[in-house]
Structure 1
Amino acid sequence: MMNEPRRLHPVAALLRFLRSLRELAVPLLIFVFIGGGNDGRFFSLLYIMGIMLLIVGFLVYGILSWYLYTYRIEDGELRIEHGVLVRKKRYIPVERIQTIDISAGIIQRLFGLVKVQVETAGGGNEAEAVLSAITATEAEQLRSMLLSEKKENIDKEEEHSEVFTLLPKDLFIMASTSGGIGVVFSAVFAFITQFDELLPDDYLLSVTEEVIKSGVVFVTFSGFLVLILAWIISVISTAIKYGKYTLIKKGNELLITRGLLEKRELTIPLHRVQAVRIQENIIRQLFGFASVYIEVAGGAMEKSEEYSTFLLPIVKKSEIKNHLLLFTPEFFSKDEQFQPLPIRARKRFLFRTTFPSIVAAALISWFFPPWGYISIVLIPLALLLGNRMFRESGWLLMQNRLSLRFRFINRHTVLAKKNRIQSFNLVHSFFQRKNRLTSIVISVQSKMAGKHFKVVDVDEDDGYELFKWYSYEKFE
């Protein structure tokens, strides 16, 4: 029974030990490579003994931490007691628990274990409680007991499930059209450019002569190989992170599972979803694909995680409405005819993109002639971008829901309900006032802090009408 104190699996002691070593990896390396010096065998022996004692101390501390860590469910609370030098007790009321996330790193999966993170409303950036190593059976038992105590009166008819999965071809499309491939390309290119630090000067000189002899063909072929390598790395990293991605709607909760090496499970109550955001980069928009995110209130987030949560990592735009109807029906809409910006706002978009490109092209041309003159091509590209930003910005008001659309490089469409918008602001600059324009900014709760979305240069009258819609009878 869960009302009796339980300990984590002994692997938790190993995980604590490895975490301690990782946190002190840099000091230990400095201690090893600098501490010994040339002080003689006696001092060298002292250094080695000190390191060994430190490592043994970490191991003993990990074992004690595991042994003294207990958890149980009692009187409608998850009760945790832990601490070696200072004993701590943490009692978490079940009604405060928002999500129970289950993941499994490499070590946990080797032993058939999982890690459970319990998140509460307003719990900050870290999980309220972390059970680093328990069996999958215990994790499911813990989750079912906590959720059953919190929601005893769920209707049986709400227990039906809707499922969305990412197929291998979807992962391939996602990796091939991701903006992250550019980051990978930059990293590969930067790594290759560091070869001159490792290779002899004579060898580099001979290679340079060969490149000059072979001409443009060799350079083009090398660039092509770098692109292929960057693409392969992007595909592999995407498959590792989002492989076996499954989205399930069960009752009033969304269950997300993903990961090949580290399996992660995330449970999101639908009432915590504050907004839905559809994102299209240039490549995906060209081929009719998009990614769908949800902005989730509260909850912990690991440092490596995104600020927003993927709902549909990659999906055809024509299928988004159907998926929203199944998984987040509150944000579903049949009508997507957005209200465009006034024509007088176009010149402001063109100025904002073109002026920086003119300055950049002038500086590049001045300092790097004659090749720098090629940078003049930035100006028409900036004009195209500014016009595209103007044409694709807008808003849509439907009863209790506001949708915003805007773009810079990526196009974003935000769907937000009135009673989940935390604040609504109208922002006027001096030049906007002269043109009877304004910017509308809405804020919603998100994982780390508030998330803000902005559409600039909306007609001033429209802005005041939207502000009136939000301000009066907000929660009707």
Structure 2
Amino acid sequence: MSTETVVTPPAEGTQDAPWHRLDRRMLLIRPVLDLAKSLPVLLGALLFGHGEPWQWIGLAFTAIAVCTGVSHVLTSRYRITATQVEWHTGLLLRKQRAIPRDRIRTVDVTSEPKHRLFSLAAARIGTGRHSHGKGPGKDELVLDAVTVAEAQRLRTLLLHRKAEAVAAAPPEQLVAAVDKKWLRYAPFTLSGLAVVGAVVGTVYHFAHELHFDPIQFSLVQTVVGHFTDTPAWLSLVLAAAGLLVLVSMLSVGGYVLSFWNHRLTREPAGTLHIRRGLITTRSVSIEEERLRGVEVREPLPLRLAGGARVVAIAGGLREGKGADKGGGLLLPPAPLAKAHEVVAEVLGEDPAATPLTRHPRRALYRRISRAVVGVLLLAAALYGLAWLGALPDWPWQAALVLLPFAALVGWDRYRGLGHALAGRYLVTRSGSLDRGTAAVRRDGMTGIVVERSYFQRRAGLVTVIAPVAAGKGKYVVLDVGEADGLALADQAVPGLLTPFLTGDRDRG
């Protein structure tokens, strides 16, 4: 009688966990992408080299870029042990990286058009630290690309810790979903203005480099001639109206591409799950126990339309250029009432709706004086250039016209100032053109800072700074009265400033 030994492969999470590789279908995409990135060098070498030695350098550079991309796909491998996530890559220059599992805060799953062509996705595993560069930092792993099922498995395994417990739990709960009616807020985001500026800048750059004059086109000549024969005020109105229509259309398109299919859900393991995107889909998970608060953002145009967006204050999220570019966007531009509903649902309460304490009138004088002095300095600089003959007179005159608007902005900035202690949250609001109301958990602060400048000392004001290892890194209470500011700081982190305040009273 013979016995047969059955060898069971090691389970995921053990120290002998199996290694996984990137999906081989990425080899059909990566060379094309690397070739497209090297296209300027390749075209320059082929069109202008004419047998010169540097032509072969350009071709070699392109070949190295393509081979490097292929090597990355072929040599990258990863595994998840009981304590960490390990990643190895490289053929000639080998790289190894490991992230402890207890430091993982988010798993960001992105599926761009290049991925969706083959049902792939990129999984970005992040910790509580921020990377300031363009590429992944030392505390971040990017697996590009894996199957969608594998990306979801990684998200479940790394964030929920135990996939079995999650499988037996009730289904996820819907917190918020995008509404088609919210498209009316898209023009007020002014995101299309950035697109117009980028296009104009790119066209001007290439036209300048190629010594090309757009006036040579008959259509451009017709448009320029029409504006020349039209009164200046009417031309200005028509140009502004055309720009407004173009920016609005681009903003609506950007809203659809970025926020369509947006869904915010709460998963049974205590995780907030965000999905959004039309062409490029994105899936982000945030552990609620790592959530340090929320921020309700109200840029001036959006605020005038009665809208706002909600951003999570949590560690490990990629903020990008603006909160809506990162992974912490809980709610896209939507009605303000809906924003407060989402805050209440996420936090269990709505500290952002707490009545705020107004700041003293001395803060109003500082807001207005800073805004007006800035415009006066600009007008003085333009006047100096005009006096030297470098500029005409109208720029500095136009700058003086902005004085009433600067004073109005300063007054609105003062109206926006406010703070409060709402239970376990410190609430602070500031800004005019980009107003934000942040509710930060007091137990999530890494300390408290009270600072004041020379001019603040003369006005009897201080600025209270709440450092947080999440979001922007710090949230400030601007220009609060000295006594109120010290009391606020002492209550926000009880006991931290008490020895200093006691010492000041004893000396007094």
Query: Shared fold by TM > 0.5?
Result: yes
Q: CA deviation at 1:334?
A: 8.1
Please say which of residues 246-255 and 358-367 is displaced more in the overlay: 358-367
Q: Is the CA contact 1:103–1:264 (under 8 Å) kept in the aligned structure 2? A: yes
Equivalent residues in 2 for 1:443-462 (5 A)?
443-446=467-470, 451-462=473-484
SS of 1:4's equivalent in the other structure is: coil
Q: CA deviation at 1:404?
A: 0.6
Equivalent residues in 2 for 1:108-257 (5 A)?
108-122=115-129, 124=131, 126=136, 128-149=140-161, 160-170=172-182, 172-187=183-198, 197-200=213-216, 208-216=224-232, 217=234, 220-251=237-268, 252-257=270-275
Matched, 1:355 2:373: yes
- TM-score, normalised relative to structure 1: 0.83
Please say which of residues 254-263 and 17-26 is displaced more in the overlay: 17-26
Counterpart among 455, 472, 475 of residue 494 in structure 2: 472
Alignment length (residue pairs): 463
Counterpart among 58, 76, 84 of residue 69 in structure 1: 76
Corresponding residue number in structure 1 for 2:298: 280
Matched, 1:107 2:107: no
Q: Is the CA contact 2:127–2:315 (under 8 Å) kept in the aligned structure 1? A: no
Corresponding residue number in structure 1 for 2:18: 4
Q: Is the CA contact 1:253–1:267 (under 8 Å) kept in the aligned structure 2? A: yes
Q: Which AA in structure 1 matches 2:188? A: T
Q: Is the CA contact 1:295–1:308 (under 8 Å) kept in the aligned structure 2? A: no
Q: Is the CA contact 1:95–1:150 (under 8 Å) kept in the aligned structure 2? A: no
Corresponding residue number in structure 2 for 1:406: 430
Q: Distance in 2 between matches of 1:456 and 1:120?
A: 30
Q: CA deviation at 1:284?
A: 2.0
Q: Percent identity?
A: 23
Q: Deviations over 1:193-219 (max 9, x none)?
A: 888823339997776554333435455
Q: Deviations over 1:210-229 (max 9, x none)?
A: 43334354554344223222
Corresponding residue number in structure 1 for 2:87: 80
Q: Distance in 1 between matches of 2:368 and 2:130?
A: 44
Alignment CA distance shift 1:181-1:334 (3 Å): closer
Q: Which AA in structure 2 matches 1:120? A: T
Counterpart among 289, 297, 320 of residue 271 in structure 1: 289
Alignment CA distance shift 1:184-1:66 (3 Å): closer
Q: CA deviation at 1:469?
A: 1.6
Q: Is the CA contact 2:340–2:350 (under 8 Å) kept in the aligned structure 1? A: yes
SS of 2:278's equivalent in the other structure is: coil
Corresponding residue number in structure 2 for 1:425: 449
Q: CA deviation at 1:318?
A: 2.1
Q: Is the CA contact 2:175–2:342 (under 8 Å) kept in the aligned structure 1? A: no
User: Structure 1: where are the runs of 5+ without partners?
Assistant: none
Alignment CA distance shift 1:287-1:255 (3 Å): same
Q: Is the CA contact 2:42–2:59 (under 8 Å) kept in the aligned structure 1? A: no
Alignment CA distance shift 1:414-1:83 (3 Å): same
Matched, 1:327 2:346: yes
Q: CA deviation at 1:280?
A: 1.0
Please say which of residues 67-76 and 256-265 is displaced more in the overlay: 67-76
Q: CA deviation at 1:191?
A: 7.1
Q: Distance in 1 between matches of 2:319 and 2:238?
A: 42
Q: Which AA in structure 2 matches 1:325? A: A
- TM-score, normalised relative to structure 2: 0.79
SS of 2:440's equivalent in the other structure is: strand
Q: Which AA in structure 2 matches 1:110? A: L
Q: Deviations over 1:296-339 (max 9, x none)?
A: 2135567898467211112222233321121232x633862111
Q: Deviations over 1:28-75 (max 9, x none)?
A: 4443344336x5xxx7xx946x76666555555544443333333344
Q: CA RMSD in A?
A: 3.6
SS of 1:339's equivalent in the other structure is: coil
Q: Is the CA contact 1:396–1:402 (under 8 Å) kept in the aligned structure 2? A: yes
Q: Distance in 2 between matches of 1:299 and 1:335?
A: 25
Counterpart among 319, 322, 330 of residue 311 in structure 1: 330
SS of 2:410's equivalent in the other structure is: helix
Q: CA deviation at 1:403?
A: 0.5
Alignment CA distance shift 1:225-1:193 (3 Å): farther
Q: Distance in 2 between matches of 1:111 and 1:323?
A: 35
Q: Is the CA contact 2:177–2:262 (under 8 Å) kept in the aligned structure 1? A: yes
Q: Which AA in structure 2 matches 1:180? A: S
